[in-house]
């Protein structure tokens, strides 16, 4: 499924082309002040699924959503006075806040991997800001590298890692920062260290950011308590047994389906909504039809196996 990857200097025409592709549900590589990001329309679940497909990530992690300004952020998440103070002081810039997610935000559930919190940032890089304006939607954007490879700070790093997987790379020169954004939670804990340090925040705002004991921070992938439904879940189900809500795929119909046509992009986009729906149903157990382990199917199965593991 190789595609032609073009790298364009990030001028006005290239940004317009990138926005057109975002509108069509593609993902596009774009420079930010931290590292290059792989951006897609955060309100379009299938577009977000294509980020995972391009990166070949073995599982789903919640993604950071980039917005143009604080007003847009407030339509998506809840703030309190302390997080508002952080946003006022450090946005635009390399600070991500993990906040309570509003139900009516319009953000696809794959972005938050089913969690009820959302990671938001207002980026400072002029190219990313221009793309946000031209696209007119919030952009989900993890680092633009294949899973397990180091984060890219130049367009040619992106090309080396994702060439043949994505259609367009906007070249805006080297990312100045090179270090991923600092992540702080709603309760002012440091979730990931980064360019904006707790001591600087203390000095500039008076706010105390709590660090993990001994200054150690957990590995990023373990930060989010991963969403899993609070009901037993059976995998590889060809039919529902008594008292089961069956999530179908392809020929296995079920009470609801990840994708009737057996499309893995559609299935990834629907995964968390289907799990929430199953959890909310009046049946005490959940069963899920087999999903092939190829491409995005591997990430879907990874998440389903975690959800099925006894806790
Ligand atoms: P990246 O986009 O690759 O820079 O990584 C995003 C980081 O944000 C990961 O470390 C995630 O675990 C973290 N993250 C995103 N959303 C949430 C959330 N809702 N709760 C906790 N951590 C989050
Ligand atoms: Mg990364």
Span from the CA of 131 to the centroid of ligand 1 (angstroms): 22
User: Are 54 and 27 within 8 A, CB to CB?
Assistant: yes
Whether 126 is covered by a domain: the verdict is: yes
* Model pLDDT, residue 220: 45
Of 259, 227, 229, 253, which Cα lies nearest the Cα of 240?
Answer: 253
Span from the CA of 283 to the centroid of ligand 1 (angstroms): 32
pLDDT in tens, 50-106: 999 999 988 899 999 999 999 999 999 999 999 999 999 999 999 999 999 999 999
SS3 1: coil
> Closest residue (by CA) to atom 1 of ligand 1?
142
> Closest residue (by CA) to atom 2 of ligand 1?
142
CA 62 to chain centre: 4
CATH number for the domain that contains residue 72: 3.90.870.10
* Model pLDDT, residue 213: 55
pLDDT in tens, 42-66: 999 999 999 999 999 888 999 999 9
The residue-averaged pLDDT of 207-211 equals: 94
Per-residue pLDDT at 225 exceeds 60: no
Report CA torsion sign: 161, 167, 173, 179.
Answer: negative
> In the chain, pLDDT over 90 holds for what percent of residues?
86
* Model pLDDT, residue 211: 86
Span from the CA of 278 to the centroid of ligand 2 (angstroms): 31
Of 192, 212, 40, which Cα lies nearest the Cα of 119?
Answer: 192
Query: Torsion angle of alpha carbons 127, 108, 250, 252, nearest 10°?
Result: 160
> Which of 30, 32, 64, 117 most suits a substitution to test ligand 1, by most atoms within 8 Å of the C-beta?
64
Q: Which of 211, 244, 262 marks a domain boundary?
A: 211
Q: Which ligand is nearest to the CA of 62?
A: 1
- The tally of domains found in the chain comes to 2
Span from the CA of 245 to the centroid of ligand 1 (angstroms): 30
> Which of 112, 191, 227 most suits a substitution to test ligand 1, by most atoms within 8 Å of the C-beta?
191
> Closest residue (by CA) to atom 22 of ligand 1?
224
203, 282: one domain: no
Quote the CA–CA distance of 21 and 26 in Å, as a whole number.
5
Whether 281 is covered by a domain: the verdict is: yes
Query: For residues 61 and 29, which has the higher predicted lDDT (pLDDT)?
Result: 29
Per-residue pLDDT at 278 exceeds 70: yes
83, 188: one domain: yes
Q: Which ligand is nearest to the CA of 177?
A: 1
For the record, the structure tokens of 293 come out as: 């382990």
* Model pLDDT, residue 216: 46
* Model pLDDT, residue 59: 86
Span from the CA of 24 to the centroid of ligand 2 (angstroms): 24
Q: Which of 181, 211, 241 marks a domain boundary?
A: 211
Whether 223 is covered by a domain: the verdict is: no
105, 205: one domain: yes
Phi and psi for 244 in degrees, rounded to 5? Answer: -105, 140
190, 251: one domain: no
- Ligand 1 cavity residues, CB under 6 Å: 61-64, 98, 112, 115, 117-119, 142-143, 180, 183, 191-192, 220, 223-224
Whether 129 is covered by a domain: the verdict is: yes
Tell me the pTM: 0.91
Quote the CA–CA distance of 202 and 178 in Å, as a whole number.
23
> Closest residue (by CA) to atom 3 of ligand 1?
142
Quote the CA–CA distance of 286 and 182 in Å, as a whole number.
37
Ligand 1 atom at minimal distance to the Cα of residue 96: 8
What string of DSSP letters covers 115-145?
Answer: -SEEEEE----HHHHHHHHHH-S-EE--BSS
Q: 288 is in which domain, residue-wise?
A: 233-308
Residues with Cβ within 8 Å of residue 64, at least 6 apart in sequence: 96, 119, 120, 121, 140, 141, 142, 181
Q: Which ligand is nearest to the CA of 118?
A: 1
pLDDT in tens, 142-171: 999 998 888 899 999 999 999 999 999 999
Quote the CA–CA distance of 274 and 190 in Å, as a whole number.
32
Give residue 282's pLDDT band: very low, low, confident or very high (50, 70, 90): very high
Whether 264 is covered by a domain: the verdict is: yes
Q: Which ligand is nearest to the CA of 223?
A: 1
> Closest residue (by CA) to atom 21 of ligand 1?
224
């Amino acid at each position: 499924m190789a595609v032609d990857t073009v790298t364009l200097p990030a001028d006005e025409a290239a940004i317009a082309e990138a926005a057109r592709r975002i509108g069509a549900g593609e993902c596009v590589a774009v420079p930010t002040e931290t590292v290059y990001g792989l951006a897609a329309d955060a309100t379009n679940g299938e577009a977000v699924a294509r980020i995972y497909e391009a990166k070949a990530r073995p599982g789903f992690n919640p993604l950071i959503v980039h917005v143009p300004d604080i007003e847009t952020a407030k339509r998506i998440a809840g703030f309190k006075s302390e997080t508002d103070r952080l946003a006022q002081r450090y946005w635009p810039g390399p600070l991500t806040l993990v906040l309570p997610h509003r139900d009516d935000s319009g953000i696809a559930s794959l972005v938050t991997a089913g969690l009820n919190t959302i990671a938001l940032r207002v980026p400072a890089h002029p190219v990313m800001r221009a793309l946000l304006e031209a696209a007119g939607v919030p952009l989900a954007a993890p680092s633009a590298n294949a899973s397990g490879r180091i984060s890219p700070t130049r367009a040619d790093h992106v090309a080396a890692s994702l060439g043949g997987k994505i259609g367009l790379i906007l070249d805006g020169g080297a990312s100045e920062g090179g270090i991923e954004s600092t992540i702080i939670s709603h309760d002012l804990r440091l979730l990931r260290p980064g360019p904006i340090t707790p001591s600087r925040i203390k000095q500039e705002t008076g706010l105390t950011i709590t660090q993990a004991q001994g200054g150690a921070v957990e590995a990023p992938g373990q930060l989010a308590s991963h969403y899993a439904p609070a009901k037993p879940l059976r995998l590889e189900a060809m039919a529902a047994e008594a008292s089961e809500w069956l999530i179908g795929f392809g020929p296995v119909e079920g009470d609801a389906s990840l994708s009737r046509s057996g499309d893995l992009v559609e299935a990834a986009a629907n995964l968390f909504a289907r799990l929430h729906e199953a959890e909310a149903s009046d049946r005490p157990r959940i069963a899920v039809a087999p999903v092939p382990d190829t491409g995005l199917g591997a990430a879907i199965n990874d998440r389903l196996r975690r959800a099925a593991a006894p806790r």
